[in-house]
């Protein structure tokens, strides 16, 4: 039996499949199988192309579905069919660096308590521009970041098949952000390698590009469900864009950032009781979220130079970090924020500065932010 199964779901992927398949077959780690699940209705020659690869290399296995399954179901079918101890995810148009599998399997072998491991990656835009995404490495920080963001790059992950099968961890066919949804349900240790081991091609035909609004809306749902399930926070009293926001460089109102502070403070307080997240990790994520909430006000209006950029300090909570930056006590933060806003923006409405009693602005498609 192969040690590693590389799982690629496909649907009309013949134009880009060569890059992904050949990058796996060229891996320095060779004890592998490549399992390609081709969904029913794929009619561009993908099936024939995989069959040709299978004739050349017996490590290639094609699973041709006989009825339409969709991405999540295709992945679940593939996971059950994989024979390896480890399953590595991959998309048809990605490029895995030659040492990707060897690096990940070495890490997993030396960390038997880790059930899933991602890596850093480059995102290649259609115009050829590239940016690097290096995610948080430590389990405590990954778990805390999953409160607000998908903290693992889906096509970079490797996980233990037995752990997923035994615990019933599988993709939800009803989820659009199927990876984010799954990671929030995995009750096991996670890690990210800081080494760039994959190129992700964000092409014009990429599924994420086509379904951005649906993905963003579903991501918002996932964030809210986590807060309600894990911390018993009622999310209805907050606007959706506090949970999942796009273009946080513009359009955030004064009311938004004060409501944002209330949300972050409630997360901190609930966690003191529930103990779902490590203190330092949660403080770091909440400080980062505050910086997003206040970006627009710090850079485009008269609050520039007034609202602090938070740097999380070990041993300090989010509230303690913010109080220190504001030069006040943590019990006087809201008063300090209102006072500072009133001084800098006397034209702002009394309702925004002191009321916050009316129903918050809710609705619209939730949008995303890159972490």
Best CA proximity match to 29, nearest among 93, 138, 104, 87: 104
CA distances from 24 to 1, 19, 48, 101, 364 (A): 17, 9, 18, 9, 41
Structure token pair of residue 99: 């040492």
Could you tell me the residue ranges of all domains in the chain?
4-210, 214-355
Mean pLDDT of 322-334: 86
- pLDDT for residue 246: 56
Reported as a pLDDT band with limits 50, 70 and 90, residue 6 is very high
pLDDT digits (tens, 9 = 90+) for 351-364: 333 333 333 333 33
- pLDDT for residue 345: 57
Q: Helix, strand, or coil here: 210?
A: helix
Of residues 210 and 10, the one with the higher pLDDT is: 10
- pLDDT for residue 355: 36
Reported as a pLDDT band with limits 50, 70 and 90, residue 105 is very high
- pLDDT for residue 128: 87
Residues in CB range of 281: below 8 A, 6 or more apart: 138, 140, 141, 143, 144
Cα 274 from Cα 232, distance rounded (Å): 9
- pLDDT for residue 141: 96
CA dihedral 123, 124, 126, 129 (to 10 degrees): 110
- pLDDT for residue 325: 87
- Angle in degrees, 0-180, between the axes of helices 46-56 and 17-25, rounded to the nearest 10: 20
- pLDDT for residue 27: 98
pLDDT digits (tens, 9 = 90+) for 126-161: 888 999 999 999 999 999 999 999 999 999 999 999
Partners of 158 in the β-ladder: 88, 117
CA distances from 43 to 38, 51, 56 (A): 10, 14, 22
- pLDDT for residue 211: 64
DSSP assignment letter at 36: E
- pLDDT for residue 327: 84
Structure token pair of residue 227: 């807060």
> Residue 304 pLDDT > 80, yes or no?
no
Least confident residue range of 46-50, 215-219, 264-268? 215-219
What is the b/e burial string over 10-49, where b = at least 16 CB atoms within 10 angstroms of the residue's CB?
A: bbbbbebbeebbebbbebebeebbbbbbbbeebeeebbeb
- E runs forming strands in 112-214: 114-124, 130-133, 158-160, 189-201
Residues in CB range of 177: below 8 A, 6 or more apart: 150, 215, 218, 219, 222
Of residues 360 and 73, the one with the higher pLDDT is: 73
- pLDDT for residue 110: 98
User: Radius of gyration (Cα) for the chain, nearest Å?
Assistant: 23
- pLDDT for residue 152: 96
- pLDDT for residue 302: 58
Reported as a pLDDT band with limits 50, 70 and 90, residue 271 is very high
β-strand 86-89 against 95-96: which pairing, if any? Answer: unpaired
CA distances from 81 to 62, 76, 77 (A): 11, 9, 6
Mean pLDDT of 259-267: 93
4-210 folds as Spore Coat Polysaccharide Biosynthesis Protein SpsA; Chain A (3.90.550)
Q: Note the pTM of the prediction, 2 decimals.
A: 0.86
């Amino acid at each position: 039996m192969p040690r590693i199964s590389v799982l690629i779901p496909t649907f009309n992927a013949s134009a880009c499949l060569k890059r992904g398949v050949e990058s796996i077959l060229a891996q320095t780690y060779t004890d592998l199988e490549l399992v390609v699940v081709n969904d029913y209705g794929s009619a561009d020659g993908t099936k024939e192309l995989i069959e040709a690869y299978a004739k050349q290399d017996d490590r290639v296995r094609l699973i041709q579905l006989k009825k339409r399954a969709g991405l999540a179901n295709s992945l679940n079918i593939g996971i059950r069919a994989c024979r390896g101890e480890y399953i590595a995810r991959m998309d048809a148009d990605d490029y895995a660096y030659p040492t990707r599998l060897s690096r990940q399997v070495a890490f997993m072998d030396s960390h038997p308590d880790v059930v899933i491991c991602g890596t850093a990656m480059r995102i290649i835009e259609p115009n050829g521009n590239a940016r690097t995404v290096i995610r948080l490495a430590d389990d405590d920080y990954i778990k805390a970041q999953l409160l607000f963001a998908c903290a693992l790059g889906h096509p970079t992950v490797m996980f233990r098949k037995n752990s997923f099968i035994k615990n019933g961890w599988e993709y939800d066919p009803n989820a659009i952000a199927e990876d984010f949804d799954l990671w929030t349900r995995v009750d096991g240790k996670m890690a990210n390698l800081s080494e760039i081991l994959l190129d992700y091609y964000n092409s014009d035909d990429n599924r994420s590009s086509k379904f951005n609004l649906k993905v963003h809306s579903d991501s918002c749902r996932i964030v809210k469900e986590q807060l309600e399930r894990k911390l018993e926070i009622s999310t209805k009293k907050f606007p959706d864009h506090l949970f999942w926001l796009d273009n946080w460089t513009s359009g955030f109102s004064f009311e938004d950032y004060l409501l944002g502070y209330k949300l972050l403070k409630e997360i901190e307080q609930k966690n003191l009781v529930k103990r779902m997240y490590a203190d330092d990790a949660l403080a770091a994520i909440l400080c980062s979220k505050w910086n997003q909430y206040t970006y627009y006000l710090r850079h485009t209006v008269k609050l520039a130079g007034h609202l602090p950029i938070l740097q999380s300090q070990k041993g300090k909570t989010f509230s303690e970090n913010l109080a220190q930056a504001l030069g006040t006590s943590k019990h006087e933060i809201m008063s300090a924020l209102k006072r500072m806003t009133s001084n800098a923006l006397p034209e702002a409405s009394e309702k925004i500065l002191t009321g916050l009693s009316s129903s918050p602005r809710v609705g619209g498609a939730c949008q995303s932010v890159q972490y």
